[in-house]
Chain A
Amino acid sequence: DQQVKQNSPSLSVQEGRISILNCDYTNSMFDYFLWYKKYPAEGPTFLISISSIKDKNEDGRFTVFLNKSAKHLSLHIVPSQPGDSAVYFCAASAISGAGSYQLTFGKGTKLSVIP
């Protein structure tokens, strides 16, 4: 059972336009959400996060929106740049019984920004 879903395996966007990456989750215990970016042959790098008590968080060109009632979050990149071409993973965390947090990742969306 996939608790974090990224339904679009790939997305192509023109340079300068907005990229919108979507993520849905099913577990209402998730209380923190993160986006990671991954280039080939490298490990994922943290991009932006949002707590479940907020509905929006901005960091430069990146904005994450959280709709708790719909169990949906999205990442907006404005304006998109060719260097943004990468695989983007949505992740959600919840505290485990052992007191540690475990991240559950989606399968990723490959973003291609066309010059």
Chain B
Amino acid sequence: KAGVTQTPRYLIKTRGQQVTLSCSPISGHRSVSWYQQTPGQGLQFLFEYFSETQRNKGNFPGRFSGRQFSNSRSEMNVSTLELGDSALYLCASTGQDFNEKLFFGSGTQLSVL
């Protein structure tokens, strides 16, 4: 089974621009979550989607948004980029039994200059 795939692997943007990151979950997984990892801050929850519906949202500004498609693929968008948005963005998918474990992709490293 293929793992969670995130594209692109690296991105460099400038302040004020917007960016879209993509995530393809493991086949059959319907729940997709997004996390932001910054140095020394651990992983912070952005949002979770299930069957195209956002079920849960973390404490991030409205500049961070996401969506999920009917094939469970997900995208997240960050508008009006700020320097502090530089981070590793991780996508994770899980099956029905959410509690068991998340399967993470390798992430998209975003650098905002």
| Contact surface of A with B, Cβ cutoff 8 Å | 6, 9, 32, 34, 36, 41-46, 49, 89, 91, 93, 96, 98-108
Contact = CB atoms under 8 A, between A and B. Distances in A.
Contacts of A108: 42
Contacts of B103: 46
21 contacts: A9-B40, A41-B106, A43-B4, A43-B92, A43-B104, A43-B105, A44-B43, A44-B90, A44-B102, A44-B104, A45-B104, A49-B99, A49-B100, A91-B43, A100-B98, A102-B58, A103-B102, A105-B35, A105-B44, A105-B45, A107-B42
Contacts of B98: 93, 100-101
B59 to A, nearest CB: 11
B41 interface: yes
Contacts, number: 62
B101 A43 contact: no
Contact of B55 (A34, A49, A98, A105): A98
Nearest to A97: B56
Nearest to A100: B55
B48 interface: yes
User: How many B residues are at the interface, by size bracket?
Assistant: 20 to 34
Interface of B: 4, 31, 33, 35, 40-45, 48, 50, 55-56, 58, 90, 92, 98-107
A19 to B, nearest CB: 19
Nearest to B47: A102
Contacts of B48: 100, 102
Contacts of A101: 98-99
A105 B48 CA distance: 15
Given A43-B107, A98-B56, A32 B43 contact: no
A41 B9 CA distance: 10
Nearest to A6: B42
Contacts of A9: 40
B56 A46 contact: no
Contact of B56 (A49, A96, A107): A96
B43 A105 contact: yes
A88 B7 CA distance: 25
